[in-house]
Structure 1
């Protein structure tokens, strides 16, 4: 019996804003991606995970969706999307969309209606509560802001947002919300997409009654409380329902961004019940932070080995990755970039370690070139809401120094600088002004230069993928 296609293909993650601009506005777009599909095919890519291209005000770079069935104007049109899908399928490349349904944008029509009055039919699409003693309904901290609650003057209640105040959480307990989500997923499947990556899917269910967190207070006295919003009992009910309504009977796949997953509970998602096909676990991503992601510590190789071995033994089929749009550049984080020779050896070593394991590889754009962290120096150069919020919380020079060390080492903007296609103007990414600064080392690290170098990181990735594809023992472990 043949393996599922998502086990036999190498995935490539595209952050569209930074991949390729086709019209000179400094922002990557769908037609830019179309122009680079032959590059992906030559690399050996069999599937693409496309970060959000839906209509969005961009408070969190597309992860705040204003309309799930409209393409962001900066990226193109639905006709461009359909052409991208056709061109990918003509090259036997699958397309997996990003699905962001823990929250929407506060500009989504559901939320606009929801906040218009307490009696509006959409009110219960989100999580609204009365305050306590003039303060928030509970003491939860959010991922991006001190409090997970924002007050609405118009209706005199608070709404929950585990991320920014521009990203109100959807109320998954409301069957109408779930019906809207499932119908939307099915319409995308009918359009021809091959699967979905589910953003922060393990936090869609919240604890009954939304109790206070019991941990140590952080900024503003708020408590980060994943025990009340991650892996709640109803999560499995929702995922099983979603699979029945959307995924069963289709030749498709779903991979979850599963925050707070561990080797003990992972099989509840990808085991016999198969709520998800694949999951992204973050033990490797969390191993070099101490108390906070911003407290970067040196790589602990024995710890890395233990984590890899534990996950290879814990579940049947892993995702294999060391970076994505939310992480710093792989070779800067886990390798040595102090010289050209060590940079190149590090990039190749890390690829060998990760992509010859049993599982499905997910390569983040530019990783195959050995792209590195960017030398950000000023607040004006930053674009990421998480980084900007971190700086806003600093109240002393010492705190600012600490924050900048963290941003340079671990900030998300490192992964979002434009793809380095050539040593020409703007790295071949755009003829206009790039939306975010270029890494100045594009004159040395770029696809055009590496194409002609048989010893390059790019050609090593090609050889590694070809070896994997031609060797069943490597593919299946």
Structure 2
């Protein structure tokens, strides 16, 4: 068990993530908004949620759906106002729920006043607030400073004609990276992006791209891993840089004044030692991070360069075990999640969204998640068992810049080859971020009760058979199962929140089995990850605490069935 067993609200809490544009539209403009969120807080609380996480609601040109922020102290007008946010904070607290916001401070929008001033001239007082570099010339041809590839394709450097230099953007060209080496920048971030909202009563942050702030000063070329491309994956060059611990310790000193919770997004950090640098309690940096090993299962070198279900169960087990064993014998904390705004739906990725299996799959994955240690995160619609949009949707329905850029890249590289484009489309249907962003399915009315007018993004076609209203009245629904499951997790919080995880039968490609142990208590969890029955006898001297099947068979596990036993 963990060395530090200090009980904290953010350890035992269940977090519900909300994507504002797609949650609930209150004023019939086709876009979700903050009053819409407020109107469904009782629904959220009824699931068993303790903490609400709001994706970026700040003012933004929306090039990357709000992760390109033009003003940290203002709200994107279609979502509402600062006053609406103050009401949301108050209404969450009134229901004994905490509220956390996204903290996006690796970069801003190119429309932020800081960047507008920075790009005015090389003599601008804010020139050094962003990362500017001169061109290099190869055989007289102007080239960017290095070969880094942006996370959204193309070079990570954008030429600025006015001042004749490049600026760094690890994401879209409209998202220039802030220069954390500059102390003035850091102080401005703490004041404008953090304390402005902490003073209003928010309870913490999910910290976006938390390990990218320190990139070093040299920024060398990345190794060539894609010989056909000019720009190369550079995640190991710009993540986990030399001053990360210093920067996060400084940030934590601000957060500590408010006892604020932090969960960092920590990609390209694949060792326990690397993660512990961020989440060891004695380091006083972050409370916990999202490790990406689990949600990266099945992805290619570029995440879409793969075929659907290009993974085996032992790989998923090993990834989960890595997040779970992080806290064994340490003072660290961890997270349990399968979905968020950047991931496709977990049923479609890790189980089966076929009509005959989707409900069982939703319950089985829920049972797995809720019996894992650490803070539990649920993404909007996950509690309903929402799934990916169908393959038949045209590329016009995909709104995410990541999806459209990839499809365009394949089209350009292949000269429009139909087979290559079909493969790209299949990968996008399996992994694209768009699937998490379709509107929330509230009822079977037109537009799924999300709005009374056409939404900004198409509603998934299955909303008539998968919606909150129907599931609230169905004791056998995925939603009803989540409610029971979260009550069980709270009842046995020592075991399921804090307990030691031990993976069993690691090589089994059909069943996922593990134990959870806390002092004298022990539980056994078994999950069938196939569409066929699997032999699976119950352990001796045990009590069945919960199972996913309506009519479980003692001698075998039904397709996508999961069970948890309390052992004597």
Instruction: Name the TM tier (shorter chain).
Output: over 0.9
Query: How far off its partner does 1:218 sit?
Result: 5.6
Alignment correspondent of 1:414: 435
Alignment correspondent of 2:107: 103
Alignment correspondent of 2:25: 21
Query: How far off its partner does 1:6 sit?
Result: 0.1
C-alpha separation in 2, matches of 1:290 and 1:124: 36
Alignment correspondent of 1:260: 268
**Retained in 2: the 8 A contact 1:146–1:219?**
no
The TM-score with structure 1 as length reference comes to 0.97
Query: How far off its partner does 1:440 sit?
Result: 1.0
Query: How far off its partner does 1:474 sit?
Result: 2.2
Q: Secondary structure at the match of 1:442?
A: coil
C-alpha separation in 1, matches of 2:222 and 2:430: 30
Give the helix-richer structure, 1 or 2: 1
**Per-residue displacement from partner, 1:111-139 (whole Å, max 9, x unpaired)?**
11111111111111100110001111111
Q: How does 1:297-336 map to 2 (within 5 A)?
A: 297-298=308-309, 299-315=311-327, 316-336=332-352
Alignment correspondent of 2:498: 476
Alignment correspondent of 2:554: none
Alignment correspondent of 2:181: 173
Q: How does 1:69-88 map to 2 (within 5 A)?
A: 69-88=73-92
The reply to whether residue 360 of structure 1 matches residue 372 of structure 2 is no
Q: Secondary structure at the match of 2:283?
A: coil
Select the structure with the greater relative contact order (CA < 8 A; seq sep ≥ 6).
Answer: 1
- Structure-2 change in CA distance of 1:218 and 1:158 (3 Å): farther
The reply to whether residue 426 of structure 1 matches residue 438 of structure 2 is no
Query: How far off its partner does 1:311 sit?
Result: 2.2
Q: 5+ residue gaps in structure 1?
A: none
The reply to whether residue 211 of structure 1 matches residue 220 of structure 2 is yes
**Per-residue displacement from partner, 1:389-412 (whole Å, max 9, x unpaired)?**
112212322332221111101011
Moved more, 40-49 or 262-271: 262-271
Give the strand-richer structure, 1 or 2: 2
C-alpha separation in 1, matches of 2:45 and 2:235: 40
**Retained in 1: the 8 A contact 2:308–2:427?**
no
- Structure-2 change in CA distance of 1:107 and 1:219 (3 Å): farther
The reply to whether residue 274 of structure 1 matches residue 284 of structure 2 is yes
Query: How far off its partner does 1:306 sit?
Result: 1.8
Q: 5+ residue gaps in structure 2?
A: 500-568
Query: How far off its partner does 1:216 sit?
Result: 2.5
**Retained in 1: the 8 A contact 2:307–2:423?**
no
RMSD, aligned CA: 1.3
**Retained in 1: the 8 A contact 2:326–2:334?**
no
The TM-score with structure 2 as length reference comes to 0.82
Query: How far off its partner does 1:208 sit?
Result: 2.1
C-alpha separation in 2, matches of 1:181 and 1:188: 12
**Retained in 1: the 8 A contact 2:32–2:79?**
yes
Alignment correspondent of 2:399: 383
Query: How far off its partner does 1:219 sit?
Result: 6.0
**Per-residue displacement from partner, 1:87-122 (whole Å, max 9, x unpaired)?**
110001111000000000001011111111111111
C-alpha separation in 1, matches of 2:389 and 2:321: 32
**Retained in 1: the 8 A contact 2:239–2:268?**
yes
C-alpha separation in 2, matches of 1:456 and 1:466: 16
Alignment correspondent of 1:286: 296
Aligned residues: 475
C-alpha separation in 2, matches of 1:60 and 1:92: 32
C-alpha separation in 2, matches of 1:344 and 1:16: 26
The reply to whether residue 3 of structure 1 matches residue 19 of structure 2 is no
Q: Secondary structure at the match of 1:113?
A: helix
Q: Secondary structure at the match of 1:203?
A: coil
Q: Secondary structure at the match of 1:475?
A: helix
**Retained in 2: the 8 A contact 1:146–1:218?**
no
Alignment correspondent of 2:234: 225
Alignment correspondent of 2:459: 438
